[in-house]
Chains A and B, each alone.
Chain A
Amino acid sequence: MKISTQWLQEYIDLDHSPEAVEEALTLIGFEVEGVEKTGLPEMPGVVVGEVLESQPHPNADRLSVCRVSVYEGEEPRSIVCGAKNYKVGDRVPVALPGAELPGGFKIKASKLRGVRSEGMMCSGRELGISDDAEGLLILRERPEIGTSINELFPGGDVVYDVEVTPNRPDCLSHVGMARELAAYFGLELRYPEFTHSFSPENPGGQPQLIESVTVEAEEDCPLYMAFPVTGVKVGPSPEWLRRILVSVGLRPVNNVVDITNYVLLELGQPLHAFDAAKIGGRKLVIRRAREGEKLVTLDDKERELSKSMMVIADAGKPLVVAGVMGSIDAEVDESTTDIVLESACFRAGSIRNTSRRLNLSTDSSYRFERGVDPRGVKYAAQRALDLILDIAGGRIDSDGIQVGHEPELQQEITLDFEFIRRRGGLEIADQTIEEILESLELKVSRYDTSDMGHKWVVQIPGFRTDLEAPIDLVEEVVRIHGTDKIPEAPVRCIGLDADDDRQVVFSRRAADYLAGQHFNECFNYSLRSWEELHKWFSNAGMDSLRLSNPLSSDQSHLRWSLIPGLLDVLKLNRYRKTGGVRFFERGRTFRELEGAVAEVNTVCFVIFNPEGVRSWKTREPADFYTAKNLILNLAQLAGFDLSAEEVGPVPMTNSAWQEGHSAKLGDLFRGVEARLGLLNLALLKAYDLEGTVVSGILEILPEKFEQALPRPTFQPFSSYPAAERDLALLVHRDEMAGAVRRKLETFGRRAAGDSFDLENVALFDLYEGKGIPEGQKSLAFSLIFRAADRTLTEEEVNQVFQKVQDDIAKETSYRIRK
């Protein structure tokens, strides 16, 4: 909303500097997005002078030396000049020594090529009046010599572009803004004065120009007023009206239209003027548009309307998209003699809907969308009629037609001012509170309560529908009193028994751990394309991840996994040769489980092993087991032991992983799942990644973090020595080492019974090939036995170890390698 200082002066005597006004607007809640200064700044040393004589400069061909009279009865001055467009006797602006021109150029008396010059004659450009830099500004009206240039060119204005929050439609007007500034600066607010009294020629009679106004769309149009005016003379607006509209960015059209715009920006009430001759059948109907009905709006665009939109129509066709924009068919133009002025109140939601659907926002729709004061509808119409009679002439035909009523809005708020002090944290007297509220045109009255106290009743005017409860008045007082008066205080900090959410703790620890393992953390977008999802995860339940209103097709679905994003990162870093090969991300992913999507807390890492990497010292590249270690450690940080979980292949529907070099641990159905290993080489091609990518993704349902982890209890351990036995087994090559290990553990524990522990079974060798039968492999384990209360004897350990071997022979297909 553009606010002109000159315009504001109509209602308040604002003599503050533009900086002070800008700050005031900001501090009372209207952010100033721009300040534009128009017209001339104060230039005290620039006055009208007359060229009395002009001689060529003795030392410069292109210059002349003039004698210029600037004050009656004073010795003329000698001024050196380069312009050619003047003649002796012309009156021109003269900047005297000491004057400052726009742009900060200071005038001094000085010698130019050896001739003294006591000032400067100015062009329009130099004064900031016009773009004309060709020659001196010749003042053809011959103003009196010595007149200040500011007197000749008044109209310096400062225009503020302010942001008005949606709760304050009353401030989408100059009177509204003046009211706010008046309250803040303690100024008197004047409402516009009317020059005409409204006594129609035909009081109480039927208007001649229109026969009827019918409101069919009642719920969206609670109040409609139409005022006929006959015999207006449509033409250009007077200079002051044109100038003021231009200053706030409007294009003057003609006097009638300009007046409706003026009143809109003055009072915030949108108005519309119809050419009465163009209202077919002399009927106005406020109705819903017919589906597909068309109309050409004033911006020359054909608009197709739908049933949800409201129009003002005549007997046949729509004339105006209600509250938004008129059509060229009912435009007021030079040939118009009779008009019908509309002032109405439309439902905010209806206008917003229409404006959005037509993608057409106007000064009018903007105000209706935010809500106009129904009690200002008639006042605004009268203000406009007053100006029309003044400027365009004409006669008011009748009382006008009113359909609907001003809603009963007698709103008041009862409160104790103590509430304002307590909530606002302010030290402020009752009287000051009362003054502040009154300055905003909220009428305050005090009454005594039965318990010897007081309460205050605050009357809320129709233009302040945002004020509903005592807390709303706290804001008004804090705002006008000044937020800089909120006292300094220490932070209130009473101990509370609450810890960070465990998800937060886990996330932080996981990130610290991975950063410690040379990984760099990434943030990728959560919204991904259908193509990507489809390519990577044919089981992703894509339809349930789809947004209903995506902005673009590459951001149409919720992410199912963090892997594609991290591959983008590898690709970018590969392409830019940054050397980055280890990245991780933590964040939310979305996975379909049994027909519903679960939001999942996910951590994922990638390690790129580029092909043909050159290094003076080659390390073993990362592989599946690198990922396994990282994943198990991460799960541990979340409080989950995945090492005990069954390992299985990743389901084939998930094409992200390289078959035979990847695995799945746990299952999200039970709350925790990890997938890890090599990413599918075929899919890497699209990312120009030549080599392998090792990755791991750990998914945990947020609800798994709800229970606090129990505090661990100390478990005593034996301080006696351990006994170690090694055992190599020949097993089928498809047999999983983990299964064999578990079996050994079972047998060992069973054999040792209660007398001592099998503390650990660790695989230390895996061998296939020479010396091993085809289709078999050798797994060697070390078994650690220990007793809690004594040093184990060779004999008892051997006995148990023998039993383990016997059980293997009896119960499994494994063969012991001697």
Chain B
Amino acid sequence: MEEKLQSILERAKQGAREVSTRADLESFKARLVGPKGELTEVMKGMASVPREDKPRVGRRLNEVKGELESLFAELLGAIEAKESAARLGPSIDPSLPSPDGGPGSLHPLAQVREEICSILRKVGFSVVEGPEVETEYYCFDALNTPSDHPARDLQDTYYLPESARFSNVSKMKRERYLLRTHTSSVQIRHMLKTSPPVRVVSPGRCFRRDTADATHSANFHQVEGLYVDQDVSVKDLKALLDYFIRSLLGQDARTRFRPHFFPYTEPSFEVDFSSSHLEKLGSRWIEIAGCGMVHPAVFESVGYDPEKYSGFAFGMGIERIAMILYGVDDIRYFYQNDLRFLQQFA
């Protein structure tokens, strides 16, 4: 009996080599463990095994049965692996390029705008938006810009015809529509809606009637910040710009305030920075922003009490900063959208 079991096992192992399909496996199994299978037949003979041999033969029988089971499982695994391989086809060449699109990218101006906004968010500013088509009131009058100021001239500012009507750009009186020359107009609209304290930053597209060249563009982008509260001083303005410039240009960047003139701030300054990081530019002072204390006349035009509140405003050109940060030497690259340019900042 035990020899029989041994020979079944040996023949099974040999026969396994012939098994290559699921059908082969089924008939192979039937031949061994089916109702008329060889092992089944041996099991039927257990009754005639002498009593004292039963435990030993039984144990051997179970062993052989177990070995056959694992042989079947092994064969099934091999068949399944073969089937999977057939389904997947030949192995891939991992060095082939992906036919799918490359990485997308955010425009460098958008990235710089976001970087500026997020530096300011950390010190409590929130970002506001306003219309690109503005009116003379919000762009000039409310910002203390006299009616004969050269900036308002037809030479420098784009106007829309008298007949133009804009459904979602409100006028104060019957003033003309124009394309905003700065985003300070957003601050006026914001102050008219809210009361102090105010801390907002307004990024956006602006327009000046300039002929395009390496440093001028028909439209450009600005970020302007506004801070209004009680008892705000030039010291607070300087502190904020020191923080901002160090965050943007590195901890060793230094700032310098040069007195300047803007109708909407008093005192007004232009801000220069110098930084050892910008090797190409050396340690020279580079102009980066304009700023000042909000002129009392501006507060009056939005109904804030200039006796009670003071504040500061600052503004900078996104293109200019992007040119400094990335070393771009011609503003027109930003508006060409050559993929080789865009992807450098991805």
Contacts and interface: CB of A to CB of B under 8 A. Distances in A.
A559 B164 CA distance: 15
Contacts of A31: 258, 260, 270
Interface string B199-243: 110000101011100000111000000010101111111111011
Contacts of A26: 258
A494 B132 contact: no
B281 interface: no
Nearest to A475: B267
Contacts of A483: 238, 256-259, 269
Interface of B: 96-97, 99-107, 109-110, 114, 117, 121, 123-124, 126-129, 131-133, 148, 150, 153-155, 158-169, 179, 197, 199-200, 205, 207, 209-211, 217-219, 227, 229, 231-240, 242-243, 256-261, 266-270, 293, 295-296, 310, 334-340, 342-343, 346
Interface string A194-219: 00000000000000000000000000
Interface in A471-517: 471-472, 474-475, 478-479, 483-484, 486-496, 498-501, 503-504, 508, 511-512, 514-517
B235 A547 contact: no
B323 to A, nearest CB: 14
Nearest to B203: A504
B169 to A, nearest CB: 6
Given A423-B293, A486-B257, A588-B205, A501 B335 contact: no
A482 to B, nearest CB: 10
Contacts of B164: 544, 597
B337 A526 contact: no
B336 A572 contact: yes
Q: Which 8 A-B pairs have the closest CB atoms?
A: A425-B235, A518-B101, A425-B233, A475-B267, A29-B259, A580-B339, A515-B104, A165-B261
Nearest to B292: A475
A676 interface: no
B167 A522 contact: no
B99 A524 contact: no
A539 B104 CA distance: 33
A703 B131 CA distance: 11
15 contacts: A27-B256, A28-B259, A31-B260, A475-B268, A493-B124, A495-B124, A518-B104, A520-B346, A544-B164, A551-B211, A578-B339, A588-B205, A599-B168, A616-B97, A701-B168
A589 to B, nearest CB: 10
A521 B338 contact: no
A489 B335 CA distance: 39
A587 B150 contact: no
Given A520-B339, A572-B336, A499 B126 contact: yes
Contacts of B295: 471
A629 interface: no
A313 to B, nearest CB: 25
A474 B293 CA distance: 10
Given A475-B268, A521-B106, A593-B167, A546 B161 contact: yes
A469 interface: yes
A580 B257 CA distance: 44
B133 A599 contact: yes
Contacts of A524: 335, 337
A326 B91 CA distance: 91
A590 interface: yes
A573 interface: yes
Nearest to A471: B266
A549 B154 contact: yes
A518 B234 contact: no
A486 B227 CA distance: 18
